[in-house]
Structure 1
Amino acid sequence: MKKKFIILLTTAVMSFGVLAGCGSSAAETQGNVNTAESTNPSNDPNEKQDESPSTGETDTAEADTITVTDARGEVVIPANPERIVDLSGNSDILSVYGYTVIGTANSDAYDYTKFPSYLEDTLKDAKILGYSMQDTMDIEGILELEPDLIIISSVQEKMYEQLQEIAPTVMIELAQINWRDDINAFAKIMGKEDVASQWLADYDKKASDKGTEIKAAYGEETTYLAFLASGGQLYVFDAAGIGSVMYEDMGLAKPANMPAQDNISLPVISYEGLAELDPDYIFVAATEADMESLKQSSIYNSMRAVEDGNVVELPSSPYFNMGYSCIGREVFLAEFTGLMEQ
C-alpha cells in the first residue's frame, strides 16, 4: 500500500483532476457515393450536360465521424460514441456529459478491484481495467469490450499504438491541479462546451451556498486544514483534493503560512510544521493504522483543534480521491455540514 501511495502522490491527483488532447485512427470508416454518369438524350455534343449527380448511396462518413485535436494531433472519432473505454481516470466527467463508459480506470486508490463509494452508482455497469495512475492496463479486457472510442491520459502514452489498433484513441493531457481545465478539455473533445458551462455554474452555486452556510454557523474567520496521514508522512491538501473544495470552491479560510502547492504533488509537512499552522478545524484522512499512529504523536495531541475536539476523521478511502472527481466534489459539499456536526 505504501508503494502505491508513493506512486500516486508524486504522479497523481484530482482529482482525479486535473485534461486536453488526439492521434490517427485505425478504425475510420468512409461512406461511398455512387454518382451515375450523365447522359445526353439528344446526342448533341454541343448541348449542355446535366451536371447534377443521379441519386445514389448517401455519404454518411462526415455525419458519423468528427475530427478532433488531442495531445498528439488530429484523430477521427465517432460523432456519437456508444462504447467508450476511459483509462484516463475521468469517467465521472464523461458521465456528466451523458456518456456511460463500458470500461474504466476510475478504481479506488486503496483497492483497484472496486469503485470509490461516490462513483459506485455512476460506474456500476463498467468493467474495471486498472487504476488511472498505472501506465499499462488490461489489453485483453479492453479487446473483449469492443470499444468504439478509447480515452487515455499521457500516463498511458506507451499504450497508445496498441490501443489505436483496437479503436480510435484520444489522449488527454491532464491539468496538474486545475480540475476545471480537465472538465473543459473533455468538453472541447466531445463537443459539450455548453453542458460543461452549465454544470460548472450549478456546482459553483452549490459551493458558494455551502460556504456561506458554514461561515454563518462557524464564523467568517474560522480556519480549516485538510491533510492526509500516510506511512508516517503528512500530506497537505491545498490547491488539490478536498482542500481546494474548502478554499477555492467554498471560500473558507486557510491557516496562515500554508505550504503552497504548485504542481501535482501534495506538499509534505512535518509534525512541527503542522502544529505551527494552528487551524481552528482539522480534517484528516487516514487508514485506521495511520490514524492510530497519528494519535501517538504528542505534538498532534497538543494542537488546539485536537484539544478542542475540532477534528473530523475521514477514512482515506474514499476521501483521499474524492476531491479529484467532479462528482466526488459534489458529494463532499453535500456531506460537509454533517461532517462538521459529527
Structure 2
Amino acid sequence: MKNKMSLALIVALFLTLTIFSGCSNKKEEAKEDNKTRVVSTLKGDVKIPANPKRIADISGASEDLLILGHTPVATANSDAYNIKEFPSYLKDKMKNAKIVGYNMNDTMDVEAILDTNPDLIIMSERQEKIYDQLKKIAPVVVMKDYGNDWRARMMDVAKLFGQEKDAKKWLSAYDQKAKEDGKEIAAKNGDQTYLSVLASGGQFFVLADAGVGSILYDDMKLKKPANLPKQKGITLPVVTIEGLSKIDADHIIMIATDADKKNLESNPVWKSMRAVKEGNVTFLNSSPYFTQCYQPIGKELLLDDIKEKVTKK
C-alpha cells in the first residue's frame, strides 16, 4: 500500500512540475514577445517588436530578410515581367508569403497586407502615399529609396534586427565568390570586355552601373568596353541597335524576351556585330533574370551562371 501511495505521489509531483514548467515557459515566451525596441526611420523613431514574427515587406528588401533568417508573410518582391508571381528562383524560398504588389510601384494592396496580420511593416519612401493607412495596421518602418545601392539597403535592414554582423558576413562571402568567379572568367577568356543590355521593344537599355553590369564590373572586376555610356542614378542609358554596335564589346550578355530575341536574330546590324559573329553572345530570359540581377540572392545565384555561360565555347 505504501509503495502504491509513493508511486502516486511521485506521479502527482511530476505532473505538477511539468505543468509549472509549461506555464513558466509560456510566460517567458509571452514576455519575450512583448519586448520592443526603438529604431530610427525616415518618419522618426518607431517602436517595433524586438522579435517580429509576421513581417510585411513592400520595400523590395524581402531577399535581404530571407538572408537574415526572416521569411515575410507579405511581400512585393515579385517578377518584374509578371508581378503576380515570384521569379522562378525565389518560389521555394518564399514559402507561403503573399504577394501584395510590386516593390517599384508607389502603392500596394492594403487589404491584402491587412489580411496577413503583420506585426511589422517595412516600406519604401516611394510608397509614402499609403503610409497613414499602413500605420493603422502595425508599426511601420519607412526606408529610403536605395536605387542601385543594394548593399546599403541590406545593412539598414540588418540594423533593424541587430544583425549587422550577419549581413557583413554574407556580403563578404558574396564578394569573395564574385572575385574568384571573375578571375576564372578572365583566365579562360583572356582580356575581354563585357557588355550587359536589356532588349525591350526595339530599344536597348544598357546596364552600365546596375543589374548584370554591376555584377560584371563592380563584383567580378571584369573589363568595361571603351564606349560604355554613363548611367545617371537608376535611369539606364538607352541606345538604338546602331548605338549598341558602336559600343563594340568582346562579349554581350543580352536580357530579352523570346520575341525580342527573335527580332534581334533577324536584324542585319545585330548580325554584323563582332561579338555576334564570333559567337560571344549570352542570352538570358527577361523573366527571371531582369529581376534576379537586382537582388542579393539572385545576384549570388547569377555568379556561377554567368561564369558558366560566358566561358562556354
Task: Pick the TM interval, shorter chain.
Answer: 0.7 to 0.9
> Which of residues 81, 86, 108 in structure 1 aligns to 2:52?
81
Deviation string 1:277-321 (CA, Å, 9 cap, x unpaired) is 111111101111111222232211100011111111111011111
Q: CA deviation at 1:62?
A: 11
Cα deviation for residue 65 of structure 1 reads 0.4
1:229 aligns with 2:213: no
Aligned equivalents of 2:99, 2:161: Cα separation in 1: 22
Query: Does residue 113 of structure 2 align to residue 171 of structure 1?
Result: no
User: Which of 195, 202, 217 pairs up with 1:247?
Assistant: 217
> Structure 2: which amino acid aligns with 1:326?
P
Query: Which position in structure 1 is the counterpart of 2:252?
Result: 282
Q: Give the counterpart letter for 2:60 in structure 1.
A: G
Aligned to 1:140: 111
Question: Are 1:191 and 2:162 an aligned pair?
Answer: yes
Structure 1 partner of 2:125: 154
Amino acid at match of 2:90: L
The equivalent residue for 1:212 is 183
Secondary structure of 1:327 counterpart: helix
Q: TM-score, normalised by structure 1?
A: 0.80
Which sections of structure 2, spanning at least 5 residues, go unmatched? 1-26
State how far apart, in whole Å, the 2-side matches of 1:307 and 1:106 are.
37
CA distance in 2 between partners of 1:268 and 1:327 (Å): 27
Amino acid at match of 2:195: L
Say whether 1:320 aligns with 2:285. Answer: no
Quick one: which amino acid aligns to residue 224 of structure 2? K
Look up the SS of the partner of 2:73 in the other structure: strand
Letter in 2 for 1:144: D
Shift of 1:338: 2.3
Q: Which has the higher contact order (CA 8 A, sep 6+)?
A: 1
Asked if the contact 2:34–2:49 (Cα under 8 Å) also holds between the matched residues in 1, the reply is no
Alignment match, 1:127: 98
Query: Is the Cα contact below 8 Å between 1:92 and 1:122 reproduced in 2?
Result: no
The answer to whether the Cα contact below 8 Å between 2:123 and 2:141 also exists between their aligned partners in 1 is yes
Amino acid corresponding to residue 255 of structure 2 in structure 1 = A
User: Using the alignment, how far apart are the partners of 1:61 and 1:202 within structure 2?
Assistant: 32
1:286-297 alignment runs, 5 A limit:
286-297=256-267
Amino acid at match of 1:182: R
Deviation readout 1:34-54 (Å, 9 max, x if unpaired): xxxxxxxxxxxxxxxxxxxxx
Please, what TM-score do these two structures have when normalized by structure 2?
Answer: 0.87
Partner SS for 2:123: strand
Could you tell me which of 269, 273, 285 is aligned with 1:299? 269
**SS of 1:167's equivalent?**
coil
The one-letter code matched in structure 1 to 2:276 is V
Contact 2:202 2:240 (C-alpha < 8 Å) held by counterparts: no
SS in 2 for 1:121: helix
CA contact (8 A) 2:56 2:75 kept: yes
Q: Which residue of 2 aligns with 1:329?
A: 299
- Compute the displacement of 1:130 (Å): 1.1
- Count of matched residue positions in the alignment of Structure 1 and Structure 2: 285
SS in 1 for 2:159: helix
CA distance in 2, matches of 1:131, 1:277: 33
Which AA in structure 2 matches 1:169?
Answer: V
Deviation of the 1:189 alpha carbon: 2.3
Greater CA deviation, 128-137 or 290-299? 290-299
Task: Give structure 1 stretches of 5+ with no counterpart.
Answer: 1-56
> 1:82 and 1:119 mapped to 2: Cα distance?
20
- SS of the equivalent of 1:285 reads strand
Give the residue type in structure 2 aligned to 1:268.
Answer: V
Describe how 1:28-39 pairs up with structure 2 within 5 A. none
Please tell me the root mean square deviation across aligned C-alpha atoms, in Å.
1.9
- Aligned residue for 2:253, secondary structure, equals strand
Which residue identity does 2:299 align to in structure 1? R
CA contact (8 A) 2:126 2:145 kept: no
Q: Counterpart of 1:203 in 2: which secondary structure? A: helix
Percent of residue pairs identical = 48
Q: Which runs of 4+ in 1 moved over 6 A?
A: none
